[in-house]
Amino acid sequence: MPMIRGHTPGWLSRPSPGFELFSSSENNAPPTNGSRPPAQLPFAPQKNIAYRGTEVFVAVGSKIRWADLAPLKDGAPKQSFGASTDHRSYDSSNGSEDDTSNISGDNYKTLKIQLPGPITQLSMSPQGVYLAVSTSHTVHVLILPELNSLQDQKTLDTVKMRAPQLGHVIHVRENASLASLVWHPLGPSDSALVTVSKDSVVRLWELNGNDKSSFDQPTLAIDLKKLASATTQGNHQFAPSTKLGVFKGFSIDSVEMAVASACFGGKGVAGEYPWASMTLWVAMTCGDIYALCPLLPTKWSPALGQIDLLSTLMETKEVGSADDEMQSGKAADVLKGQQQFMKGIHGAEPAVSVHAGFGPVEIYGRPKHPGSIPKLQGPFQYSDDDDWDGDLTDLYVMDLQTRAHYEEGLQSEDGSDFDEEEQDEDPLSTSLVWVLSSGSQLHLYLSLEGVQAEWLPPSSRENISNHEIPGLALVETIQLSPDQDNAPVVLPTFVPDAFLGHTFFVNHGCGISYVSAKSFVRGLKAELADPEDAGAAFRLNVFLEDTKIHIEHPVPIAPDQRASDSSIGSGCIVLYDDYLGYMLLTTVTGYPTSLTFDSPSWTLDEGESGSLAESYQPQVRASYQQPAEFFQATELQKLTSDNKQGSYRIRGGREEIRLSPATLEVMTEAHRILSSETYRLGIAAADLFRRCKRLQDEFQVQIEHVEDVRERIDSITGEDEDDYGEEEALFGKSKIEKRIQVAYSRQDELHERHKTLREKLAKLGALDMSDKEKAFGKEIRGLEETVLGSGEEEDEAATKCLLQRLQEVKRIAADLVVQAKEVAEGDDVVQMGGAVKVPRNMREERVSLVMDKLERNTAMVDMTAERLESLRLQMS
C-alpha cells in the first residue's frame, strides 16, 4: 500500500465547510440504553459518494450536495452553515431567486431534484457527462453542466438540476428493486447505461440529452431467467414482462437468480483483452456467476486497437480449427458466430463523431448477425468446498492487462509509448474475479480460459445440456472483519482504484481494507506466457499455493464506534489530483474521514514496501475529531417548548413550581433527558481525557527513545568516557580518530599474537623421519648429483658422463638389432626343417615385444642426442 502521509486535514474537519459537506443535517442521538436497533440489510450496496475530477457529489438522504474540493482546501473565508441565517434558492426554470441572504456560493451547493425516497447509489459516467442517481426502485440521470457553470458566483446555494427519470413505467415501486448501475465502457460520449434489477432483468439505455424519448424505453432488455432456459435464438422470447403490479408467484429462479451485483470485465482501454469490455458479469446472491458476451449498444466506440486484436484472435482460431480435425460442434458454432460478428464490423463504415471534450470518435453500428442478444454463459462452476459466509454482495472483475492511470502517456527508455509496446504482446484472456460476501469475506477466483463471444444456435440441432460448463479456480479466501459478530450490518462493496493497476479498496462493516494483486498478476502473467508446456499445470498450482494477496487495513473502526449502522460510511472514493494529491475519502460515524497517500508514481511494490516498513515505519495518527455529542441540541428545548405536558402547563419555568403528579412527571422526564445527555457528554469527555493521557505516555516514550539515541551517539563520539590522560582534552573528530587509532593498534597486536601462536603449534606438531624416508632421500640426492652435477665446475665431467652413457645406449641398441635379425632367421630355418613347430600367435607376440623395446631405445637415443646438443650450445 502507498505510504500514508496524513489523515483527515483541517479543511475537512469541524467547523469548516468541507466538514458540513459530508455530515448529515440531522443530528440523531444514539439510543439511550446503548443497544443497537434491529439491523436490516439494504436492498443493494450503498454508494453515496461520486466525483468528477476535483468535484465531489455527496448524497444525504434524498438530496445531493456538490462542491469543488480545490477551493475548500484553499481555506478562503466562508460562512458557517451552522449559523442561524436565511438561505436563498435558485430556480433555473424561471430564473427567479429569493435574495434573503448574502451567500457567495463558494461553499457546497445542493442540487435540487425530485426523488421519491433516499438515494442509494450515485454512479458517474466515465467522462463526467451524466450522473446516475438511484433510489431503491427508481433511476434519475443528472445532465451535469460544466464546472465553471456550477462555480459561477451568480449561482446560489440551491441549484435546480435537469434530471429526467429513467423508465417512467419500468423502474418504479411496483417492479423489482435495483441491484446495479453500470456505465458501458464502449458507449460513445457516455451515452450507454446498463441497469440490472433484482429480478434478473438487464436493460441497456442509450441516452441523448436532447431527446427525452431516449429516457423512456431501453434499446435492449433481457430477462436472464428466460435466457438461461432458452435453447435457440429468438429475441422476442427474452423480453421481460411490462405489466405493472402483476403477482408473478414463487419460483426457484426468483431465489437462485436474484441479482446481487454486476460489472463489466474491462475498462475499454487499449491493450486489454478485446472481449473483456464487451462482457457483462452478473453475480447472484446465492453465489452463482454468469456472463453476457458481447453486450453492445446499437452504436459503440471501440478502444484503440481493439478491432485489430479481435481480427488477430479470429485468424488464430481459424488456423487452429483448420488443423483440429476433432473440433466439436459447439466450437464450430461459436467460431461461425464470431466470424459473422467480425464480418459485420469489417463491412460497416464507421462514422466519425466530434463531441465537446471528446475529440473525434469512431462510432460503429452493432452487427445484426448473429444477433443482438448473446448467450448467457454460466453458472460458472467452482469448488464445492468454498465456505461462503452469508450472501454474495458485490462483484469486481479485473483484466490482467489493466495498467495504472499515471502510466498512461508515459514513454519507455527508447521513446516509444507503453501502449504501443503492450499492443505488440498478445493479450491474455485470463481474468481475476473478486467476490464479496455479507460476512466480509473476500474470494478471488481465476478464469483461465476467459469469456469470449457466444450466441445461441439458430436451431435446436444440438443438445445444449451436454455443453461443458465453464469453471472458476479458487485462489484465496480472505476474512476482512475478524470480529464479525460485533460488526454493523453493512453490505461490503468494492471501491476501484483507477490510479494504481490491480489494486482496490473494500468498504465493509469494520473499516476499509486495501487489497493489491500487483505481485500476483506479475507472476501469473510470467507463468502463462511461459512457452514450455511440460509441467505447466504443476507450476501453476505451485504458484497459486505459494503466492498470497497483499492486504492492509488503513481505516479500522474501533469497536466502540460500531454501535450504529452508520459507523462506516455508505460511500467511498479514491481520487488523485495534482493539487489535492492521492487521497481516500469516506465517511465514518456520519463525518468525513480521509487518508492522503504518496504519489502513485512513487509507490513501491509489496516486497519493497515491506522491507522499507521494517526499517522505517512512521506512526501517523488521525487528528482528534470532536464527538457529535458536543454539538447535539438538548431535548429539553422540545420539552419546554410544548405548551402542554399531560394536564400540566409549562411556561418556561417562570411560574412557581407546585407539587403535583404533573410536576413530578415533568421532573422525571427532564431527569431522564439530562441523565442520558450528561452520560453521553461524560463518555465523550472521558475519551478526550484518555487521549490526553495516552499522548503524555507516548511523549514519555519518545523522550526515552531520544535519551537512548543520545547515549548511543555519545558512545560513538566518546563523550561518555573520560579523556585519554592527555594534557589537552579531545573533542568531536579528534576523539573519534583517537579511538580508531587505538582500535588499529589493538588489531595489529592481536595479529602478532596469532602469528606467534601459529608458529608454536607448527613446531609442536612436527615428527622425526624414519630410516626408510632418510634412505630414500639420500638416494634422490645421489641421483640428482649423477644427472645434474653438484656445481658449475663439474659441468665438463657431467658432459663426459653423458657421452659415455650415450655410447653405451647405442651399443645396446645395435646388439638388440642383431639379435632380432638372428631370431627372425632362426624362425625361418625351423619352419623349413620342420623339426620344431612354433605357434603363429606366439611368434607374433615375441616379435611385437622386440619391436616395442627397439622403439623405446630409439626414442631414448634421440632424446639423449638432443640433450647433448643443447649442452654443447650452452657451453659454447
**Average pLDDT of the segment spanning 214-226:** 91
Q: 464, 412 in Cβ contact below 8 A?
A: no
The region of weakest confidence among 414-418, 749-753, 754-758 is 414-418
Residue 236: predicted pLDDT: 57
pLDDT at 108 over 50: yes
Q: 765: pLDDT confidence band, cut at 50, 70 and 90?
A: low
**CA 606 to CA 551: how far, in whole Å?**
10
Cβ count near 413 (within 10 Å): 5
Helix (H) or strand (E) holding 459: none
pLDDT band at 203 (very low <50, low <70, confident <90, very high): very high
pLDDT at 234: 61
Which of these ranges, 189-198, 299-308, 365-374, 525-534, has the smallest mean pLDDT?
525-534
Give domain status of residue 154, yes or no. Answer: no
Domain boundary among 446, 479, 512: 479
Residue 690: all three cell numbers together: 484518555
393/283 Cα distance (integer angstroms) = 8
Provide the mean pLDDT of the chain. Answer: 77
Query: According to the model, what pLDDT value does residue 156 have?
Result: 66
Could you read off the pLDDT of 291-300 as tens digits, one per residue?
999 999 999 9
801 by Cβ neighbours in 10 Å (0-12 / 13-18 / 19+) ranks as: middle
In 3D space, the residue among 575, 582, 573, 586 whose CA is nearest the CA of residue 603 turns out to be 582
CA 411-417-423 angle, to 5 degrees, is: 145
Residues 186, 191, 192, 195, Cα dihedral to 10° = 150
- 702 and 820 part of one domain: no
The per-residue pLDDT for 412 is: 41
Q: What is the mean pLDDT of residues 194-210?
A: 92
Separation between Cα atoms, residue 492 and residue 785, nearest integer Å: 99
Decide if 623 is inside a domain: no
Cβ neighbors of 44 (< 8 A, separation 6 or more) are 120, 121, 136, 177, 178, 179, 180, 261, 491
Residue type, 329: G
Q: What is the pLDDT of residue 186?
A: 92
323 located within any domain: yes
Q: Is the pLDDT of residue 103 over 50?
A: no
Say if CB 408 and CB 501 are below 8 A apart: no
Distance from C-alpha of 727 to C-alpha of 723, rounded to nearest angstrom:
9
| Residue 670 and residue 804 in one domain | no
pLDDT, mean of residues 540-549? 79
pLDDT at residue 235, as a whole number: 52
Q: Are 237 and 370 in contact (CB under 8 A)?
A: no
CA distance 77 to 11: 12
Q: How many CB atoms lie within 10 A of CB 563?
A: 16
Counts of helices then strands in the chain (DSSP H, E): 17, 34
- Residue after which a domain boundary falls, among 673, 696, 717: 717
Overall average pLDDT of the 583-600 stretch: 84
Give the whole-angstrom CA distance, residue 587 versus residue 512.
11
Q: How is residue 60 written as a grid cell?
A: 444525504
Q: What is the pLDDT of residue 324?
A: 63
Whole-model pTM over 0.75: no
d(CA 336, CA 514): 43
Q: Give the structural domain span for 830.
A: 794-875
User: Over 50: is that where the pLDDT of 82 sits?
Assistant: no
Highest mean pLDDT among 89-103, 500-514, 656-670, 714-728: 500-514
Q: Both 294 and 398 in a single domain?
A: yes
433 lies in some domain: yes
Q: What is the dihedral of CA 691, 694, 696, 698, to 10 degrees?
A: -130
How many other CB atoms sit within 10 Å of the CB of residue 307? 17
Ranges 123-137, 450-464, 520-534, 835-849, most confident:
123-137
Q: What is the DSSP letter of 600?
A: G
Sequence-separated contacts (24+) of 794-800 with Cβ below 8 Å: 795/875, 796/875, 799/868, 799/871, 799/875
- In angstroms, the CA 644 to CA 381 distance is 67
In this predicted structure, the answer to whether residue 280 has a pLDDT above a threshold of 90 is: yes
Crossing angle of helices 733-764/661-717, nearest 10°?
60
User: How large a percentage of the chain has pLDDT more than 70?
Assistant: 72
Q: Is the pLDDT of residue 781 over 70?
A: yes
Whether pLDDT at 322 is above 60 = yes
User: What pLDDT, on the 0 to 100 scale, is given for residue 184?
Assistant: 94
Rounded to whole angstroms, the Cα distance separating 726 from 197 reads 90
Instruction: Specify whether the CB–CB gap between 233 and 457 falls below 8 A.
Output: yes
Q: Are residues 312 and 401 in the same domain?
A: yes
- Average pLDDT, integer, range 50-74: 89
- What is the distance of C-alpha 541 from the center of its chain? 21
Q: Does the pLDDT value for residue 367 go beyond 70?
A: yes
Which residues share a beta bridge with 844? none
* Lowest-pLDDT range of 19-33, 683-697, 700-714: 19-33
What is the mean pLDDT of the segment spanning 750-754?
A: 91
Q: Which three cell numbers stand for residue 498?
A: 483507477
For residue 134, tell me if it sits in a domain.
no
183 and 321 together in one domain: yes
Cα torsion angle, 849, 855, 857, 863, sign: negative
Place of cell 402547563: 649
| 3-class secondary structure, 372 | coil
387 vs 512 pLDDT, higher one: 512
- Distance, in Å, from the CA atom of 742 to the CA atom of 747, rounded to the nearest integer, reads 9
SS3 452: coil
Residues 299 and 426 in one domain: yes
In this structure, is residue 515 part of a structural domain?
Answer: no
Cell 468525513 locates to 592
For the residues 598-603, what does the mean pLDDT come to?
A: 65
Pairing between β-strand 130-134 and β-strand 139-143 as defined by DSSP bridges? antiparallel
Mean pLDDT value of segment 849-865: 84
**How many angstroms separate the Cα of 433 from the Cα of each of 406, 450, 494, 574?**
24, 10, 12, 21
- Domain check: are 706 and 832 in the same one? no
> What amino acid is encoded at 451 in this protein?
V
Top pLDDT among 646 and 873 is at 873
For residues 383-404, average pLDDT? 76
Last residue of a domain, one of 699, 717, 735: 717
Model confidence pLDDT, tens digit, residues 788-842 = 665 555 556 666 676 777 788 888 888 888 888 887 776 555 455 444 566 777 8
Q: Is position 702 within any domain? A: yes
DSSP secondary structure string, 183-238?
E-TT-GGG-EEEEEETTSEEEEEE--TT-GGGGTS-SEEEEHHHHHT--S--GGGS
Model confidence at 600: pLDDT above 80:
no
Q: Which three cell numbers stand for residue 533?
A: 508446456
* pLDDT value of residue 193: 94
**Judgement on whether residues 217 and 344 belong to the same structural domain of the protein:** yes
Q: Give 727's pLDDT tier (boundaries 50, 70, 90).
A: very low
Over residues 466-483, the pLDDT tens digits come to: 556 678 888 888 888 766
Residues pairing with 504 in the sheet: 496, 515
Domain co-membership, 704 together with 815: no
Q: Which residues contact 845 (CB under 8 A, 6 or more apart)?
A: none
What is the Cβ-side half-sphere exposure of residue 316, based on CA atoms within 13 angstroms? Answer: 8
Q: What is the per-residue pLDDT across 412-459, written as a single tens digit (0 to 9) for each?
A: 444 444 444 444 456 788 889 999 988 888 999 988 888 999 998 877
pLDDT bucket at 848, cuts 50 / 70 / 90: confident
Measured at the CA of 566, the angle between CA 561 and CA 570, to 5 degrees, comes to: 125
Omega within 30 of 0 (cis) for the link into 379? yes
Neighbours of 111 (CB within 10 A): 21
How many domains, the chain?
3
Distance, CA of 518 to chain centre: 5
The three grid cell numbers given for residue 207, joined into one nine-digit string: 441516452
Q: Does a structural domain hold residue 79?
A: no
Residues 332, 207, single domain; the answer is yes
pLDDT of amino acid 261: 93
- DSSP 3-state of 574: strand
CA angle (568 as vertex; 565, 569 as ends), nearest 5: 110
